[in-house]
Amino acid sequence: MRQDFDKWFDEVIRLHEHFRARDGLPTRVPKARDGVVCKICGNHCRLGAEEAGYCGLRIASGGKLKLVSGTARRARVSWYHDRLPTNCVADWVCAGGSDSGYPQYSYSPGPEYGYYNLAVFYEACSFDCLFCQNWHYRSQVSSEHSARETAQAVTDRVACICFFGGDPGPQVIHALATARLARREKWGILRVCWETNGNLSDKYLDSILKESLTSGGTIKIDIKAWSEALNYALCGTSNKRTLEVVARLLKLAGQRRDPPLVVISTLLVPGYVDSREVRSVARFLASLDPDTPYSLLGFAPNFLMTDMPATSLQHAEECLAEAKAVGLTRVRIGNRHLLGKDY
C-alpha cells in the first residue's frame, strides 16, 4: 500500500463505505463542488443539498449548515468519574499521574490519589478506524446533554476533564463550552485535556490550546500512521491535517514544559504500523521538539480487526529502539500488559 496505493485505493474506500453504511453513517467525506463547507473539524466537508457530514452531525439545508448535534446546547455525549491516577496515555508525564505540575497544576507531588478525572465521551468521530476500541457507541441510542449539564458533573474532587470518544473534534463547540463553564465555576485546580486523532480545525485550535495551556492540561494526539496510504486503509481518510496540527502545537510546546503540553501516541497495529512507520513519526517529532513524550501502544483485536494478533513484544521493542535512535528522549511502551510474545 505504501508503494502503490493507487492500486488499492478504490478497494479500501469500498470497504469503509460498506461498514459505515451498515452503521447508518455517511460513507465518504463529502466534497460537493458547490457545497456548504463545514469547518468544525479538519475534514472540512463540502455538503450538497440535504447531505450529511462525515461525522453524521451536520446537514446542508437551504444553502446553510444545520448542526444536528454538537452545539453548546446539545451534544451526543456521556461521562463518568474515573479515579486518579487513571489509564491515560499521558499518565507517565501528566499532572494527574506523575510528579509533574505540582503545586500549580496538581494537588499532589505525585499521582493524585483521592481525586478524579471527569472522562467526557463524545459519540461521533472524524475518522473511521477499523480497530476502534470504543466503537460500541455506533450501535447505541445516543443521549444528548448541554454543556452546562456536563460541566455540573465536575465536583470538588475532580482535578481534570478529558474530552475523548469517538473524538471531541466534531463536537468541539460543546467541549469548549463545557470547559469554560466548569473552570469558571470550580474553585481550585481543573486541568482541561483532550484525547484526539488531531483532525482539528484551525477555527478552534487556538481555543483548544488556550484551555489546556492555562489549566495545566495535556493535548494527547494519536498519530495513527505516517503513511497517508496506511491512514486511509486503517482510518478511512487522510492524516495530513493531523500532522499539520501536531507540527503547530509542538512549535508552541516550549510555552509550558511542566507538565508537557503535548503528548503523542501511536498504536502498533501488526502488519501495518511497523518500525518504519514509527521511525518516520519519531523523526518528525524529534525535528520539532526532541523532548516530546511519545507513547507506543500495544494493539488489542477489536471492532473490524478481531482476526488480528496482539502486538508482539518484539514488535514493540523494535519500534521503541527506532524512536530513540532518531533522537526522541522521552519514549515508552504504554501498555505492556497487552503485548504477545510473538506473531
The pLDDT tens digits for 288-331 are: 999 999 999 999 999 999 999 999 999 999 999 999 999 999 99
**Secondary structure (DSSP) of 202-262:** HHHHHHHHHHHHHHT--EEEE---SSHHHHHHHHSS--HHHHHHHHHHHTTGGG-TTTTSE
**pLDDT higher than threshold 50 for residue 32:** yes
Averaged pLDDT, 136-143: 83
Averaged pLDDT, 145-166: 97
**Secondary structure (DSSP) of 151-178:** HTT--TTEEEEEEEES-SGGGHHHHHHH
Rounded-to-integer distance, Cα 96 and Cα 108, Å: 8
SS3 45: coil
The model's pTM is 0.95
pLDDT at residue 341, as a whole number: 65
pLDDT at residue 141, as a whole number: 72
CA–chain centroid gap for 149, Å, is: 23
Provide the grid cell at 319: 519500534
Q: What is the pLDDT of residues 314-324, one digit of tens each?
A: 999 999 999 99
Q: Domains for the chain: give ranges and CATH numbers.
A: 5-67 (no CATH), 75-338 (3.20.20.70)
> Residue 52: CA atoms inside 13 Å, Cβ hemisphere, count?
14
**pLDDT higher than threshold 70 for residue 342:** no
Averaged pLDDT, 75-96: 96
pLDDT at residue 77, as a whole number: 97
pLDDT at residue 340, as a whole number: 80
* Beta carbons within 10 angstroms of residue 336's beta carbon: 11
**pLDDT higher than threshold 90 for residue 235:** yes
Percentage of the chain modeled with pLDDT above 70:
99
**pLDDT higher than threshold 90 for residue 191:** yes
Q: What is the pLDDT of residues 41-60, one digit of tens each?
A: 999 999 999 999 999 999 99
Question: DSSP code of 31?
Answer: B
**pLDDT higher than threshold 50 for residue 148:** yes
Averaged pLDDT, 121-150: 93
